[in-house]
Amino acid sequence: MRIPLKCIDCFSRSIVEITTEDLYFALSYVWGTPCPEISSPRSKDSVKKLQIGIPQVIEDAMTVVKSLGKQYLWVDKYCIDQHNVVAKHYQIQNMDKIYQGTYATIIASAGTDASSGLTGVGCVPSIGKSILCSTLPPLKDVLGETTWITRGWTYQEAALSRRCLFFTELQVYYVCSAMSCSEAIATPL
């Protein structure tokens, strides 16, 4: 039995079914304390609009997806029908395929919960005309200090993804099988 993949359409702010040909991003983040106002779509809902007040990390991830010229974002809390045991079990069993199928996974490694957001996305820091130099640490050192790295699910999400954008407190890192890149200075997208 195949259950269609649902994603957030970042432009219409609704949850829609996509095909396997559609490019989508996934979000890896620490849920933190469960929020009762956050609900996933029920299977009978073909399209569900996102309510006002969704967590900042999801708002910021939607901003990143749109700024990169893409449309779809997969977020477990919203895109897995938490009320349908069969659908939920199926998607959990196929989590590897979901993350391997992403265009890239956005990793919110700096936060301790969904309200933390993505560093440098929600607020725009100003650096003026100054020339800045930086000797920021490598990604492995930065991740070692995060809550995100201590969660088995989130670590697996990164390991299964072809491409990852790590949003840390210091800068954004891009990692894929061919290369690893980082910003020299923490600036917004």
Integer CA distances (angstroms), 116 to 54, 63, 122, 126, 167, in order: 12, 15, 10, 20, 11
Domain boundaries, the chain: 5-182
- The pLDDT value recorded for residue 41 is 47
- The pLDDT value recorded for residue 28 is 92
Write the single-letter amino acid at 152: G
- The pLDDT value recorded for residue 102 is 92
Chain centre distance of CA 49: 19
- The pLDDT value recorded for residue 133 is 54
Q: What is the dihedral angle through the alpha carbons of 15, 20, 23, 24, rounded to the nearest 10 degrees?
A: 40
pTM above 0.75, yes or no: no
3-state secondary structure 71-92: CEEECHHHHCCCCCHHHHHHHH
Per-residue pLDDT of the chain (189 residues; tens, 9 = 90+): 355 789 999 999 999 999 878 899 999 998 876 655 444 544 454 458 887 788 999 999 999 999 999 999 999 989 988 888 988 888 888 888 899 999 999 998 887 888 888 888 865 454 565 655 556 777 888 888 888 888 778 888 888 898 999 988 888 888 888 888 887 544 443
